[in-house]
Structure 1
């Protein structure tokens, strides 16, 4: 099992980044993997993704910057995505762990590149 830790440093306070990133109405602005339109269903968010309809459940709001979330894929597979916003000397660092989970090298590299683009989009949004 291979994991890759991707990160970006954002020139904004960690709490502001955390608060922005966890709001459902902001997800489609920076998380392309969640494609379009997020609706709430109890504690879950439901959205259309490139894979079809997925359910997303974030960790409860906390003071530690933990934005871990479980994505339930259309086939019922659940994938835990570790995501953190931590204080950094220049603002905040956002760290996302991508797990290989049976992907080919090409698929894994493509998934990592997509996550890195999302992190860069979040950075642009927060620094504008």
Structure 2
């Protein structure tokens, strides 16, 4: 299994970037691969309509370290851990997402990495506006 780190520097203060990324209600605005429509709460779970179907998302608790890791339970019942970090950067903040191959072909993995890069570009456009 291969992992690839996809990142994007965002010219906005670290705290603003972290606050936006750590709020799951913002997912439909920037994370097209995870949430196509509004995220809803069902008890302590977050439910999103994704390109894969309905998924359940659980985020790590808010913290001072910029960690926004989250588990996504797919319609199949499989749970995938997604490491996501917001790092302080001299130009603002850097958002770093680790993409893991997990049973994908090389072509699917490359496509997934491109889609994550597009999501991060969309995030930057929102926060730099």
Any stretches of 5+ residues in structure 2 without a counterpart? Answer: none
SS in 1 for 2:116: helix
Instruction: Report the Cα offset of residue 43 of structure 1.
Output: 2.7
| 1:105 aligned partner | 106
Q: List 4+ stretches of structure 1 deviating above 6 A.
A: none
| 1:17 aligned partner | 17
Q: Does 1:76 align with 2:77?
A: yes
Quick one: distance in 2 between partners of 1:44 and 1:15? 25
SS in 1 for 2:39: strand
Q: Which digits, 9 at most, give the CA deviation of each residue in 1:49-89, with x for residues without a partner?
A: 11100000010010100000000000100000000001000
| 1:42 aligned partner | 43
| 1:2 aligned partner | 2
Instruction: Report the Cα offset of residue 9 of structure 1.
Output: 0.3
Superposed, 1:46-61 pairs within 5 Å as 46-61=47-62
Instruction: Report the Cα offset of residue 100 of structure 1.
Output: 0.2
Any stretches of 5+ residues in structure 1 without a counterpart? Answer: none
The aligned length equals 128
